[in-house]
Chains A and B, each alone.
Chain A
């Protein structure tokens, strides 16, 4: 048996394992993200440098590093299974990332490795999209108004800070994840990871710039488990 054969056999085994394990289960993990302490004050953004964007925001938008809701809930936390679930192939549908009014929509975008990322510019000005990847290949491209979307992919899991240098206030995150079991907390702090097969999982909740919490959860059958994360926030 040559080395090539060994490799192919290994690959086949891996594929088989992946396929059997990836079958959708019926377990669900839900929960709420809240915070403790005082969140940093979000500052209004002065876009006067870019009049075409400033005019789209009669009341200035604020920074989005910490977005909270009533009852100390925390938005934009990405919750995903960091251990226990096998890696999955990317779905064919792309995820969209828009630049609108000199702001990223959404601010926090989670998607899978090798999934197509479609970046569009809805503004009348050029943006440069500069995802500051450290594990993946870093790139930095401008997108003039009216040009086709930029299509990109990332092949390694990473939390990538995205920014526009032309409009330095623009800030967002790409959460590149290895499997389809992820959720970004909504304005009430809620998240939901459905379709989980039985098993032992490690759940990670991640909040920018680099705050991470984990919990272990075991799912058997079609039960729904609730886990909650409480982030400690500081005013500065």
Chain B
């Protein structure tokens, strides 16, 4: 039975690795400028994790195969090098390498979080609420009108709580349910939560950031490929969490301008 266990463990280990090696299930293709670093980091980690995983499982299998055989002699043997060798192996081969991997990976993290947005980045505000995202563009005046949470009324689509009667800056603000951005133009995303925690997850853009009620955060990114992508919520926000999404349209500058004109007319 020991041999069977050995074989089973090795078969399971190899079978488990196959979909990763064959790229059977992949994240949506990257369309961001910074995502390459993340993908590279994932691939590097996959190699290290994969090798560790297979090595440990196969070694476990082999030893079970070899030493579960009933033996008549009463002798036990000790692994060559003993514990010291294994501890050193754990620290050097796995520990140091993983730490090094982490250190190199900081670059990918820094590319997203430690660089300020360009001065000419296009500001877009996103508001997350149960259970939809809404977006706001500042309009021709380039200024966002102030928010009045007490004025939010979804029934008449005052989704952000704007007061155009009193706030001049609000009058030209463009509020939309889908997000459109020009391709190859940096976007400065201003994140605001209306009610509870949500998350802004765009797998294709390699962007993922929670909304924190009471704390407005920001992100910046550049999309490199025209297309429609899904923005989904990944932070449990209530019963409609599974259905909280919006579409991100990456458009050519010309198409974006037309889209904006259409949206302005609809306000």
Contact = CB atoms under 8 A, between A and B. Distances in A.
A–B direct touch, CB within 8 Å, in complex? yes
Interface of A: 40, 42-50, 63, 65, 125-126, 128, 140, 142, 161, 163, 165-169, 171, 208-209, 235-236
A168 B154 contact: yes
A50 B153 CA distance: 20
A44 B163 CA distance: 18
Interface of B: 129-133, 153-157, 159, 163-165, 176-178, 238-240, 243-247, 266-267
A209 B245 CA distance: 28
Q: Which A-B residue pairs are the 8 nearest by beta carbons?
A: A171-B155, A46-B177, A166-B240, A236-B165, A65-B156, A43-B157, A168-B154, A48-B178
Given A168-B129, A169-B154, A171-B156, 15 more contacts: A40-B156, A42-B156, A47-B177, A48-B246, A128-B239, A163-B155, A166-B239, A166-B240, A166-B243, A168-B154, A171-B155, A209-B155, A236-B163, A236-B164, A236-B165
Contact of B157 (A49, A125, A169, A209): A169
A43 B155 contact: no
Contact of A49 (B163, B177, B267): B177
A40 B238 CA distance: 32
Which interface residue of B157, B178, B246 has the most chain A CB atoms within 10 A? Answer: B157
Contacts of B247: 48-49
Contacts of A49: 132-133, 177, 243-247
Given A63-B155, A171-B155, A48 B243 contact: no
A109 B176 CA distance: 29
A42 B208 CA distance: 34
Nearest to B263: A46
Nearest to B157: A43
Nearest to A45: B157
25 contacts: A42-B156, A43-B157, A44-B266, A46-B177, A48-B177, A48-B178, A48-B246, A49-B132, A49-B246, A63-B157, A125-B243, A126-B243, A128-B239, A128-B240, A140-B239, A161-B155, A163-B155, A165-B131, A165-B238, A166-B239, A167-B132, A168-B132, A168-B154, A169-B157, A236-B163
Contacts of B153: 209
A43 B162 CA distance: 14
A174 B247 CA distance: 33
B91 to A, nearest CB: 51
A35 to B, nearest CB: 16
Nearest to B156: A65
Contacts of B177: 46-49
Nearest to B133: A49
A105 B132 CA distance: 22
Q: Which of A50, A163, A169 has the most CB of B within 10 A?
A: A169
A86 B159 CA distance: 41
A129 to B, nearest CB: 11
A40 B165 CA distance: 11
Nearest to A44: B266
A129 B129 CA distance: 17
A167 B267 CA distance: 19
Contacts of B238: 165
A208 B156 CA distance: 11
Nearest to B243: A166
Most buried by B among A126, A140, A168, A208: A168
A40 B243 CA distance: 30
